[in-house]
Structures are given as C-alpha cells and as structure tokens.
Amino acid sequence: MVTLELKGLHKVKAKGRIYWYAWRGGPRLAGEPGTPEFLGSYNEAIANRRSSDTGRFLSVISLYRASTDYQKLAASTKKNWGPWLDRIADHFGELRTAQFDRPERIRPIIRRWRAAYAETPRAADYGMQVLSRVCSYAVDPVGKLASNPCEGIKHLYSADRSEIIWTDADIDRFKQVCSTEIAFAIDLASHTGLRLSDLAKLSWSHVGDDAIMIRTGKRSGKAKVQREAVIPLYDELRELLERIPRRSPVILTNSLKRPWSKDGLSSRVAELKEEAWPEGVDLHFHDLRGTAATKFYLAGLSVREIAEIMAWEEEHVERIIRRYVSRTAAIKERIRKLNEART
C-alpha cells in the first residue's frame, strides 16, 4: 500500500471514518490513500514544513514555485519543470542556501548530481537548466545569492541539427498515422517555416493577395523581439491553403472545428510521432523550419530574402541556415552554381 511508504503518516479513526494526517499534529491530507491527490497533499505538507527554515535551499525552491516568474511559464513548461523541482528539492533542499555562494564547494556537488543522469545527457542538461533558473532567481530578485553557481558548468549533450530536417519520406510516414487536421499543420509548417506558436494563431486575415504576413517573435531573456514574417504565396502554398477548410478565423483547427492551442498541437504531434516511429526518431516539430528553409534555399532565394520570409535577423541568418538547412543540400546547390558559372 502506498501509504506505508510515506514517513510520519498519522491515522485517526473518528465516527466510523479514517482520517490521515501528514504527521501527528500536522495538516489533514486530501483524497484517499494511494491516489495522486493524497500523495500531492502529503508532498505539499512536507515541503511547507521543511521550507519554514528560510536558511535552507528548499525555501528558495518554494519561493520560486510561488513566484510570478514560475507561474507565467507555459503550462507545458511547468509540467516538465515540476518533477525536476521535486528532484532538486530532494537532493539539495536540506543544504544551507549559503553553501551555494561558495562555487568551489557547491559545483562538485552539482556535477555529481548531474552525473546521476549521465546516461540520458539531454535529461541531465534539462535538470541543470531548471536548477540554474532557481539559482538565478535566488540571485535576483530574491538576493540570497551573489552569483549563480551553475554558470560555467558545461552541458553534457551536444547535437548538430544542421542535417536534421523532415524529408518528404518522413512527412509521408507521419501522415500514415495522423489525422487530416494534423497533416495540414505539418504541411503548413514545412511550407512557411513558421514557429509552432505562430502557426497556432495564424488567421485567414494574415493571408493577403501575394503573401502571408504575421507578427512573430521569440523571447530573448526578459524581452520579446517582434518581427514580421512575410511569406510569398507561391503555388504550392496557395494550393495547400485552398485545401484547408475555413472553419474558423484561425486557419488550423482540430476535429471539433476549434482552433488548436500551441500545447495541444505540440502534444498531439509528439504522441503521433511515437506511433509513426516506435523505434524512436530524432525529429522535432521545429525541424520543419529547416524543411522550409531548405525549400527556399534550393529555390535560389538569397540570405536576405530567407531572413525576411522567416523573420530571422539578417546578421544571424547565415549561422541559423547552417544549423537548420540540410548541409548536403547546401553543398549540392553550391556545386550547381559553380557548374553554372563555368558555362
């Protein structure tokens, strides 16, 4: 029984009913033993009890969880960060916060914790990202640390995604398991290069006579940089838009004829990807931006034109193209241009 694994539980029988408390004299727990509600209320009670010591790092974690910084994160981000905050609390919670102000002492401890997840380096780096954010919050605005001890600790995972794009074969395979509505989202992403968040809000009003124009942006630190993507309505894109039924002011809708939310669309694509590739595949929705960039690049568009279409900064577009555009495709295109120059 799950309740036997929880330390300090106190059971009280009264008027034929059983009540559970986090500890003798502690708060009463919600739900039935063994249920997620019961476990959640137990963990919350324990966290509140331990965080009463403001000198412990657990108090910093509790402050961050309650902060507006954390609350304004996307629901999907909080869903992913929550378990990591629990792991961080379990491992570091009882340490004095002052210990995190001694980098030469705390960094070996942080590295050992990260090493526990070394077999999955991307997960290890994700945990480090969450820990670093908590430490950063402890620096500013809380003011309990002078500096972030996670800064300077290198990531375990590194990947060159320059050749990772959705090929036509990948898209065809995915479409074998997805609905028509999801297929429209995949096609629209690969034909426009828009981010998932922009695709979810893309409206028919953004479609003009000659181009799709939409304000788009990506958060950089605390500031959100806004630019306008201007995507020419070339024949393939026009044909795609003509196939999508107009069920709403928003272009992409689900089977209930309602607009997709960003999180809903992302989750559904992730589920279908596992169905299409049960053996696993290193493809992400945002890699469809590389598919679009490759299409534009091979069509002979200049760096400046691609930057305008995809709302990228011109001074960074070369670097971003190297990351997203298929390197093999780029080399073949350069060979074609060199061969043409000789004739």
Q: For residue 34, which of 14, 62, 9, 13 has the smallest C-alpha distance?
A: 9
Q: How far apart are CA 120 and CA 295, in angstroms?
A: 33
Q: For residue 133, which of 87, 58, 69, 80 has the smallest C-alpha distance?
A: 69
With vertex at residue 195, the alpha carbon angle to CA 194 and CA 200, rounded to the nearest 5 degrees, is 95
With vertex at residue 272, the alpha carbon angle to CA 270 and CA 277, rounded to the nearest 5 degrees, is 95
Alpha carbons within 13 A on the beta-carbon side of 75 = 6
pLDDT for the residue numbered 53: 67
Residue type, 56: R
pLDDT for the residue numbered 241: 97
Q: What distances in angstroms separate CA 266 from CA 168, 197, 200, one per listed residue?
A: 20, 9, 10
Is 232:309 a contact under the CB 8 Å cutoff? yes
pLDDT for the residue numbered 35: 85
Contacts of 295 (CB under 8 A, 6+ apart): 190, 191
Enumerate the domain spans of the chain. 2-139, 168-342
List the alpha helices (DSSP H) in the chain. 36-50, 57-66, 68-71, 75-92, 103-115, 121-139, 168-175, 180-192, 196-201, 235-243, 262-276, 288-298, 303-310, 314-324, 327-342
Provide block-wise average pLDDT over 10 residues at a time, the chain (343 residues).
59 80 74 82 70 78 86 80 89 91 91 87 85 90 89 69 76 94 96 91 95 76 66 94 95 92 86 82 83 83 85 69 66 74 71
- Tens of pLDDT along 105-138? 999 999 999 988 888 887 888 889 899 999 989 9
Q: Kindly report the CATH number that applies to the domain delimited by 168-342.
A: 1.10.443.10
202: exposed, middle or buried (Cβ count in 10 Å: 0-12, 13-18, 19+): buried
Contacts of 9 (CB under 8 A, 6+ apart): 3, 20, 21, 22, 23, 42
Q: Which helix (H) or strand (E) holds 17?
A: strand 17-21
Alpha carbons within 13 A on the beta-carbon side of 97 = 24
pLDDT for the residue numbered 4: 44
- Tens of pLDDT along 32-80? 888 888 887 877 776 666 545 678 898 899 889 888 888 887 777 788 8
Q: At residue 113, what are phi and psi to the nearest 5 degrees?
A: -65, -45
pLDDT for the residue numbered 22: 76
Is 118:154 a contact under the CB 8 Å cutoff? no
